[in-house]
Amino acid sequence: MLSRVAERIYWLARYMERAESTARLVNVYSNLLLDLPKSANVNWETLISITGGYPLFGENSEQPDEKSVTRFLLTQKNNPASIFNSLIMARENARTTREIIPSEAWELVNDLYLYAKDNVNRSASRSGRVDYLKRVISSSQQLTGLLSSCMSHNSAYDFVVMGRNVERADMTSRIVDVGAATLMKKSDSTIDIIPYESSLWMHVLKSLNGYQMYRQHVQDRVNGEDVVQFLLLNEEFPRTILHCLNVLASSSSQLPNHDECLRTIASVLRRVQQCKIPDLLEKGTLYVFIDNLQMEFANIHSAIASTWFLKQVEPAQSQIQTA
């Protein structure tokens, strides 16, 4: 397989996962704000923190209200991580790898892009936004199932799996780090937020579609420590950090010249397996641990890129296809 083809398949998976994850976040967060009183001091600015979009959002000099934040995350052209820009890049990567992926996969990605393009204005309203986000989520899930069942599980598919799981692990870490920390911050609230703690953590789980699986694994009420433990260390749920790292290790081991990449993944895997969540929460150092994890995920991406991709990336892609 050519390096440029492997890279585009990898980024196709990352961009589709990024679009789906962002759609989940906005959809669940909209429901969260309906469940909490305004005095709970939970606002749309949190989503900017989770997606790491503060520098770009600040350039617009806009207030972080519902309209500006949702526009920034869904359709903003100067935000490389917006859903629409992610779909643009996913479509381009799918178009240039049509000889590798199933034809139905290309048609699905193209149809989703056209839908998003035609409904940019409609997504500004609340009712239109719900339909827009549901379509992105369902089409992304459909693509995952289609590739799993209709694409040969060869080297090309390994790059699909690696791209998807690097993106998933990064998004899960961001939600645990910024999302949960901000939601549970009590000092700035004008009311006692403790009565809403279970609801807050429940929505954190729902942003990863993990609420039902959490209840199956944890026979207790929803609480912060158990949620963090589940999202970091559960080996069975596909969106936990430990599961993503295990899948990355398995997929990379199937490819040639994998030694450097596998060592990088194994190092992060050991760090996660050895962490003690109660100690991190008690010492207040969970955010430090998660921040370090995010840098490690960037190192994993760099190891993948240096091992299997071309050294020089095309200028049009290098500006957007960032780790």
Report percent pLDDT > 90 for the chain: 60
Residues 121-126: what's their mean pLDDT? 84
Alpha helices, H only, 36-122: 45-51, 54-59, 66-74, 83-95, 103-118
Q: What CA–CA distance (Å, rounded) separates 201 from 179?
A: 10
Report percent pLDDT > 70 for the chain: 88
Alpha helices, H only, the chain: 3-35, 45-51, 54-59, 66-74, 83-95, 103-118, 126-150, 155-174, 181-183, 197-206, 211-217, 224-233, 241-253, 259-274, 277-283, 286-308, 315-318
pLDDT tens for 136-181 read 999 999 999 999 999 999 999 999 999 999 999 999 998 888 655 6
The separation between the first and the last C-alpha atoms of the chain, rounded to the nearest angstrom, is 22
Q: For residue 20, is pLDDT > 70?
A: yes
The helix/strand/coil state of 36 is coil
Give residues with Cβ within 8 angstroms of 83, minimum separation 6.
Answer: 19, 22, 23, 73, 74, 75, 116, 136
Task: At 134, list the tokens.
Answer: 């549901």
Q: What CA–CA distance (Å, rounded) separates 293 from 309?
A: 23
Question: Taking the CA atoms of the chain, what radius of gyration do you get in angstroms?
Answer: 19
Task: At 257, list the tokens.
Answer: 């010249």
Task: Give the model's confidence band at 225: pLDDT under 50 very low, under 70 low, under 90 confident, else very high.
Answer: confident
Q: What is the mean pLDDT of the chain?
A: 87
Residue type for position 143: L
Dihedral sign for Cα 96, 300, 303, 292, please: positive
Task: Give the model's confidence band at 38: pLDDT under 50 very low, under 70 low, under 90 confident, else very high.
Answer: low
Task: At 318, list the tokens.
Answer: 């290098």
Cβ atoms of residues 205 and 225 within 8 Å: no
pLDDT of res. 189 = 44
Task: At 228, list the tokens.
Answer: 């963090």
Q: For residue 232, is pLDDT > 80?
A: yes
Task: Give the model's confidence band at 223: pLDDT under 50 very low, under 70 low, under 90 confident, else very high.
Answer: confident
Tell which residue, 82, 280, 298, has the closest CA to residue 180: 280
